[in-house]
Amino acid sequence: MCGIIGYIGDKKASDILISGLSHLEYRGYDSSGIALMNNNNVEVYKAQGKLINLINILKEKENHLLNYNIGIGHIRWATHGAPSIVNAHPHTCCFNNLTLVHNGIIENYQEIKEELIKEGYNFLSQTDTEVAANLIAKEYTKTKNLLDAMQMAVKKMKGAFAFCAIHKDEPDKIVVAKRNAPLVIGLGQGENFVASDIPAIIEYTKKAIYLTDHQVGVVKKDSVEIYDENDNKVENKIEYLPFEAMAISKMGFKHFMLKEIHEQGDVVRNVLSGKLLQIDKSIKLDEFKLNKEQIKKISRVQIIACGTSLHAGLVGKYIIEKFAKIPVDVEPSSEYIYRDTIADENTLVIGISQSGETADTITAIKQVKQKHSHIAIITNRADSTMARLADSLLPISAGIEVSVAATKSYMAQLISLYILSIYLHEQLGFSDFKEEIQNLKQELLELPNKVEALLEDTENIKKIAKKYSNFKDFIFIARGINFPSALEGALKLKEISYINATGYGAGELKHGPIAMLDNNMPVLAILNTGIVYDKVLSNCEEAKARQARLIGVTNYMAEKDIPLFDDLITIPFCSDLISPAVNIVVLQLLAYYISEYLGKDVDQPRNLAKSVTVE
């Protein structure tokens, strides 16, 4: 989940590395560091904590660093060893001639480390990266060639990694390697770049080469050479980067999260564009590669995802089962990969990930591909590892999401699942639900306006957020299709405010959690008109009888029921079926404003990273 950056050219490398790292902070921010090379001299600078600490160190060296035109940088999310300067990257081998940055985990690092210690190698940190640096250095003593040393070393490592290495004796190059962790090479004129993700380099270049697994490469300022695991030179396709630098600007908002919440109306429009044309026309989904006959053979659907994407998948289960009449299992990727995989050629597997680089989900997808199931990937990154594994790629087109807490990508995933569900229904030729399908299509078309209307007036949500910002615990309850909304609302709150929030199916409240209720335990209930409204209302009465403070989120409430609630948040009227896409905006805003009142780091909450590239 760390971020890496590399530069080689004629410009001041430290400025480019710091700029790149600032756009990779979503991948981790426990510590940071850069290594700069000038001829045969390498200087390493590190800092614990946020990137600003490293920037302050470099300010004192500004003139000194003018002539350093090659460098590698790193921003860390700690896996091996606590956040500290000694554990921060870059790491130097014990010979002090090779310097390395790394994203991922080396699973057999302890075994390699023990062998190296026996041979006299010394270690200062607790990281697996320092082990890799010394292993590559050991191979260099044999080969006297950094590329060959990298190739030999990576063949001895197990796990997921992306490496950037420089060596004092080869001062004209950066050597890179990739396995199960993202790495992209940006191409310039008389300069080249290396990065974990394109936001780090988008302001400098629009052309890039994506490394694939088991590839190594030599990056010089005027050339790039890539080799496969058998040392054969290969020509990777040059691709044009799809984002603009403006996409990583706050555009006047205080935080990226607030900006991204406000972008959700346009996100819905983007997902629907070209797919939902008219309510009386069938959904157009050319990206889905199964034909009608193949769709009719689908006997089960498995949705595999993590975190927020998992909650989107739970909503997807409701609508796919309702309209396609196919049983759907939804499972965390991290659990899916450690049990027997029950799937076959008649199983549709849907992998969902904002980044497309979620390690657990990638492993699960690779595992189930061996069962010959059809793999549909819903992701925000059409250039990602998961996208390249897809049989059907359903890009959600949400644009770059910088804030660690997912908001607009969740909305886009929801809408993609609605579209896919309707598409499956229509391809299967069902004659029922015709009116309900048309109503749902109409509501999808109206959804952007409803989201934007909700965002126009947030004063009530701000007031409620301030009122409840000092509570230490929170419970979210809902039933039916909004049960995942309760889970996602609770997740948003604990992610960015560190309040202990838990989501429950409202009917489960009395099966244990009700024991926690008193006047110090706020309960937020989602109540939308529909078959579960009265049941959730009854559960609210049970909570109120235990002195819990009640917040209601609703699209309608009878006058007689209003006094039951301490606070109410009203959303634009919508059907129960589409309500998760409206309710979530309220829950995102509530979490945001509570976090802001508490003075938390909204965009970069502690211990978290945007792209989870380790299992």
Cβ-contact 115, 153 below 8 angstroms: no
Work out the angle at residue 253's Cα, subtended by the Cα atoms of residues 252 and 255, and round it to the nearest 5 degrees.
135
Question: According to the model, what pLDDT value does residue 609 have?
Answer: 60
CA 168/CA 140 separation, integer angstroms: 12
Structure-token pair, residue 582: 């409206």
Structure-token pair, residue 427: 């391809």
- The answer for residues whose C-beta is within 8 angstroms of residue 173's C-beta and 6 or more apart is 8, 146, 166, 218, 219, 220
Report, as residue numbers or ranges, the catalytic residues: 2, 610
Q: Which DSSP letter does residue 511 get?
A: G
C-alpha R_g of the chain: 26
Least confident of 10-24, 399-413, 596-610: 596-610
Signed CA dihedral, 357, 36, 109, 29: sign only: negative
pLDDT tens profile 462-486: 999 999 999 999 999 999 999 999 9
pLDDT tens profile 85-115: 888 999 999 888 999 999 888 989 999 999 9
- The answer for residues whose C-beta is within 8 angstroms of residue 18's C-beta and 6 or more apart is 34, 51, 54, 55, 58, 73
Q: Which domains does the chain have, with CATH numbers?
A: 3-248 (3.60.20.10), 256-455 (3.40.50.10490), 459-597 (3.40.50.10490)
pLDDT tens profile 289-314: 999 999 999 999 999 999 999 999 99
Question: According to the model, what pLDDT value does residue 513 have?
Answer: 87
* Dihedral angle over CA of 248, 252, 257, 259, nearest 10: -90
Distances (CA, A) of 546 to 126, 500, 501: 49, 19, 18
- The answer for residues whose C-beta is within 8 angstroms of residue 502's C-beta and 6 or more apart is 474, 475, 476, 490, 513
Cβ-contact 32, 46 below 8 angstroms: yes
**pLDDT range class, residue 269, cuts 50, 70, 90:** very high
Cβ-contact 34, 91 below 8 angstroms: no
CA 251/CA 82 separation, integer angstroms: 35
Q: What is the DSSP string of 349-384?
A: EEEEESSS--HHHHHHHHHHHTTT-EEEEEES-TTS
CA 525/CA 512 separation, integer angstroms: 17
pLDDT tens profile 572-612: 999 999 999 999 999 999 999 999 999 999 988 887 765 55
Burial 465-476 (b: 16+ CB within 10 A, else e): bebbbebeebbb
Phi, psi of 486 (to 5 degrees): -65, -40
pLDDT tens profile 200-246: 898 899 899 999 889 999 999 999 999 999 999 999 989 887 666 55
Cβ-contact 412, 447 below 8 angstroms: no
- How far the first Cα of the chain sits from its last, in Å, is 10
**pLDDT range class, residue 355, cuts 50, 70, 90:** confident
Burial of 80 (0-12, 13-18, 19+ CB in 10 A): middle
**pLDDT range class, residue 248, cuts 50, 70, 90:** low
Q: Which residues pair with 301 in a beta bridge?
A: 328, 348
| Conformation bin of residue 413: beta by default, left when phi > 0, alpha when psi is -120 to 50 | alpha
Q: Which DSSP letter does residue 459 get?
A: H
Q: Is the pLDDT of residue 84 over 90?
A: no
Question: CA nearest 299: which of 341, 349, 260, 256?
Answer: 349
Name the E strands within 545-600: 550-554, 567-570
pLDDT tens profile 108-129: 999 999 999 999 999 999 899 9
CA 529/CA 36 separation, integer angstroms: 61
Q: Which residues pair with 106 in a beta bridge?
A: 159
Question: CA nearest 492: which of 569, 584, 614?
Answer: 584
pLDDT > 90 fraction of the chain, expressed in percent and rounded: 74
